[in-house]
Every structure is written in structure tokens, then in C-alpha cells.
């Protein structure tokens, strides 16, 4: 992953990742993450996957695609968040002024993202959607392409 992607993932993690319930549970930290073992924070075989969902209902089961190859859960969460942030902004660009109108447009035409098999440790759009609609995003907040593992392509070692 590129330096820009790593920096964006670190910026996201320092602000937006919820701390597991380890402080309130008698379980060791690896069991406090609702199904995600501590060792699994680093990629499962094939890497973490982010599922893109079409809210307009145009795709079968609303699934547009799954993007794999994220080395860490932090990177997959940052990508999902940026992807949804960009989708909300594309709905705002339709000339909608109120947060409610932006949300209505997003639920009708937008795209959601979820980290596959991440459980409670995975980012969820519902936790930040109202804030996204209230406040326009910066270009950096929307730049999911910098976090996309497909943009790097195969390495020279893979050829």
C-alpha cells in the first residue's frame, strides 16, 4: 500500500476507530472484539474484503462488488468510510442543501460499504451517516482511491 494510503489509514484510526470493550469484559483482549481475534487484525487469507452495496436496488442482493487485499482491518475500515463519504458527497452535489435531502438521496441512489466478516470491529456507515450529511467532506475524506489495494497492481515479484 502506498504512503498516502498508510497515512490516511493512520489518520482514520486515530480519530474514528472504536476501542474494543476490553476494559469492561473479563475476557482477554483477543476475545473482546466480538468474533475478531487479535491476530485477525492483520489480514485473513486473501486479505480483508470490503463489500460495496448499491442502495438503489439495481444489483442482485444489492452487492455491486467485493474489494479484497486489505492488509489490515484498519485499512479496510478506512477504505469503507472514505467510499461511503464520497457516495454521500456525490448525492449532495445534486444541488441538495439540507442534510435530510442528502440522506434521502443517498438511501435512494447511493452506495454503502461494509467490511466482510469484521463483526463489531468493522466500520458501519450508520455510526457517522448523519454527520456526513450535515457537513461537507474535504477532498482527503473522499479519497477512497488512495486506499484501494487494486490501484497498486501486481508487484514485480508477482510476475
Across 121-126, average pLDDT: 94
pLDDT at residue 20, as a whole number? 41
pLDDT tens digits, one per residue of 133-157: 999 999 999 999 999 999 876 644 4
pLDDT tens digits, one per residue of 15-46: 444 434 333 333 344 334 445 555 445 678 88
pLDDT tens digits, one per residue of 105-120: 999 999 999 999 999 9
| Cα separation, 23 vs 32, whole angstroms | 9
Contacts of 53 (CB under 8 A, 6+ apart): 62, 63, 64, 111, 112, 113, 114
| Cα separation, 69 vs 89, whole angstroms | 26
pLDDT tens digits, one per residue of 76-107: 999 999 999 999 999 998 778 899 999 999 99
| Cα separation, 50 vs 104, whole angstroms | 24
Task: With a cut of 70, say whether residue 59 has pLDDT above it.
Answer: no
Amino acid at each position: 500500500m502506498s504512503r498516502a494510503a498508510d497515512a490516511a489509514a493512520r489518520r482514520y484510526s486515530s480519530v474514528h476507530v472504536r476501542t474494543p470493550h476490553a476494559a469492561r469484559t473479563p475476557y482477554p483482549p483477543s476475545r473482546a472484539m466480538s468474533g475478531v481475534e487479535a491476530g485477525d487484525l492483520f489480514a485473513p487469507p486473501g486479505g480483508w474484503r470490503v463489500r460495496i452495496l448499491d442502495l438503489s436496488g439495481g444489483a442482485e442482493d444489492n452487492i455491486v462488488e467485493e474489494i479484497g487485499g486489505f492488509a489490515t482491518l484498519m485499512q479496510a475500515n478506512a477504505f469503507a468510510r472514505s467510499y461511503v463519504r464520497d457516495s454521500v458527497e456525490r448525492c449532495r452535489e445534486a444541488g441538495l442543501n439540507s442534510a435530510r435531502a442528502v440522506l434521502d438521496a443517498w438511501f435512494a441512489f447511493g452506495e454503502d460499504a461494509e467490511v466482510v466478516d469484521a463483526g463489531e470491529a468493522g466500520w458501519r456507515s450508520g455510526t457517522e451517516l448523519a454527520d456526513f450529511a450535515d457537513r461537507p467532506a474535504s477532498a482527503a475524506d473522499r479519497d477512497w482511491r488512495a486506499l484501494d489495494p487494486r490501484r497498486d497492481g501486481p508487484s514485480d515479484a508477482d510476475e
